[in-house]
Structure 1
Amino acid sequence: MAAFHRVTVYDRQRGKTHSADLPEGAYVLQAFEALGTPLPFSCRNGVCTACAVKVLEGEVEQPEALGLSRSLKEKGYALLCVAKVCGAVVAETQSEDEVYMLQFGQVFARGRVRKAIPLEEH
């Protein structure tokens, strides 16, 4: 018999709190959807930041979270689409743009942007 753990997600964008006892090993996003509770997402493959959360208590397993750097994972960020339940957890949704900038902001505005040459001039 699978163990169940209390998972709470504060959905900042919608101003709602979702809590449920989810089975160990289940993907958080899928488990909440099965209960009729939609959470933010886009790709479902762990490569974008639309479903990013900051884990406030507990932890999740997310070896497939390619869309987050090791540094962000160490700071408590997770992607709900590939986050697996491994114990009780409390998390808060994040702005996709915030997380994207945390991850890639240091590389913006570097180097010179050149005017595109129209295709007919090639």
Structure 2
Amino acid sequence: MPLTHTITVRDRATGTTHILEVPENRYILHSAEHQGSELPFSCRNGACTTCAVRVISGEIHQPEAIGLSPELRKQGYALLCVSYARSDLEVETQDEDEVYELQFGRFFAKGRVRAGFPLDED
């Protein structure tokens, strides 16, 4: 029988708090859905930033979170769709656009791109 951890998710967008019991071998988002909690998500495979959270306390494991750079992971960001609890956790949902900008902003919105280099505006 896998260990189970208590996960507290503070949803900034709705002002609600979800308390979940999540086995170590199940994705947090999947467990939340099975417990009736509606949390933000989109791709379900760790490639976007819709389900991004900031870890307030506890330990999380997310080997499949390709949508987050190692730098953002070190800053405490995680993607619930591909995250496993390794202890009791407290997390807070994040604004998808803010996390997307942190993750991909250096590549986009810098003007037109050709061959990997921004061009001067015409």
Same fold (TM > 0.5): yes
Moved more, 52-61 or 103-112: 103-112
Q: Distance in 2 between matches of 1:22 and 1:113?
A: 50
> What's the RMSD between the two structures over aligned residues?
1.5
Q: TM-score, normalized by length of structure 1?
A: 0.88
Q: Distance in 2 between matches of 1:69 and 1:46?
A: 11
Give the aligned partner of residue 39 of structure 2: 39
Q: Distance in 1 between matches of 2:17 and 2:120?
A: 43
**Does 1:109 find its partner at 2:110?**
yes
Q: Distance in 1 between matches of 2:120 and 2:42?
A: 29
Report the CA distance between 1:89 and its aligned residue.
0.6
Q: Deviations over 1:56-86 (max 9, x none)?
A: 1012110000000010001100000000121
Gaps (5+ residues) in structure 2?
112-117
Give the aligned partner of residue 3 of structure 2: 3
User: Is residue 52–residue 78 contact of structure 1 (8 Å, CA) maintained in 2?
Assistant: yes
User: Is residue 25–residue 86 contact of structure 1 (8 Å, CA) maintained in 2?
Assistant: no
Q: Deviations over 1:42-63 (max 9, x none)?
A: 0001000000000010121100
Letter in structure 2 aligned against 1:41: F
Identity of matched residues, %: 50
SS at match of 1:14: coil
Q: Distance in 2 between matches of 1:91 and 1:24?
A: 16
Give the aligned partner of residue 74 of structure 1: 74
State the 4+ residue runs in structure 1 displaced beyond 6 angstroms. none
Structure 1's 113 and 64: CA in aligned 2 closer, same or farther, altered over 3 A?
farther
Q: Distance in 1 between matches of 2:60 and 2:51?
A: 14
